[in-house]
Chains A and B, each alone.
Chain A
């Protein structure tokens, strides 16, 4: 997933830390196929999403040598194209594809710029700006993460029906979390939570983004 990026960061004091919002069993085939040389961690309870108030994948944040957040969580170069997709085959119109590629490249270039220049990179945010961009969780979100944690624990203990009660409560409390919804949803044969229920949720977004656009030079407000 990030292997090419990681290789281009060699010797620049930068590490990629990939975190699967997933259980080990589901993540394993992906990790084994990608053969990453950077650490791939398994976060079955979505603890990191609770800590940093994450709602979807891929999201990324940048942490400097001193453990300080210099870019708060944001969409990791993905663009909000789901609703322009041909749902029968996943195809996107050519101009959308091109824009998607451009944004992704721009984001990865920004990561490389930071790896090279550190604090001097134009993509490193000043403390005030970084704090301002951080979205703190509200009480419902904090409660939702507790419900999700309980659901995951019960599911592992074989209590699927009980777990569902707590997942539903988590989703009700935190409807913006795709992490919670998709992790708890029925998966198809490919392991994806991308059936009619998923598309109904996407359609119900209205004006809201599935992937919030990155705030970065060169990225238009339309993402």
Chain B
């Protein structure tokens, strides 16, 4: 069974298959794992569509599956997997992070406290938030 980690999502994929650095996912799994929709125009989210690389279109699409790893790298975003290619991380690229940061709109996230209660940054909208990190180490 394959596992895909993206942002704070962790999804197990019974229908996906990996070979080398390729990870083949169907339309449903692509959207479920990353939030991006695979449409005729390309990979789309919100009002952005990234076309599939034209010259590689024959090799990154096979029947009803897309090599999402190749597409992800094409979008300038990191892809790493473990030695057995059973766990994959689809990171967020520097351009996407930079765009979010320079908009000055703080990107939202959701994290648990010690009791397991989830807090979203956006839960505190309407208040000033002093966000400070620390660690035991």
Contacts and interface: CB of A to CB of B under 8 A. Distances in A.
Interface of A: 1-2, 5, 9, 12-22, 24, 26-32, 39-43, 45, 47-54, 57-69, 72, 76, 111, 114-115, 118, 127, 130-131, 134, 136-139, 141-143, 145-147, 149-150, 153-154, 159, 162, 165-166, 169, 179, 182-183, 185, 187, 191-193
A137 B134 contact: no
Contacts of B50: none
Contact of A143 (B8, B78, B98, B126): B78
Nearest to A139: B94
Looking at chain B's contact residues, is the secondary structure mostly helix, strand, loop, or mixed? Answer: mixed
Contacts of B5: 149-150, 153
A150 B137 contact: no
Contacts of A145: 78, 91
Nearest to B98: A136
A48 B133 contact: yes
Interface of B: 3, 5, 7-8, 10, 76-83, 87, 89-94, 97-98, 100-102, 104-107, 109, 111-114, 119, 121-122, 124-137
Given A47-B109, A51-B107, A143-B91, A191 B137 contact: yes
Closest 4 CB pairs of A and B: A146-B91, A136-B98, A41-B111, A146-B78
A192 B81 CA distance: 29
A130 B132 contact: no
Nearest to A193: B137
A131 B100 CA distance: 11
B127 A58 contact: no
Nearest to B91: A146
Contact of A142 (B97, B128, B131, B135): B97
Nearest to A166: B80
Contacts of A118: 128
Nearest to A130: B104
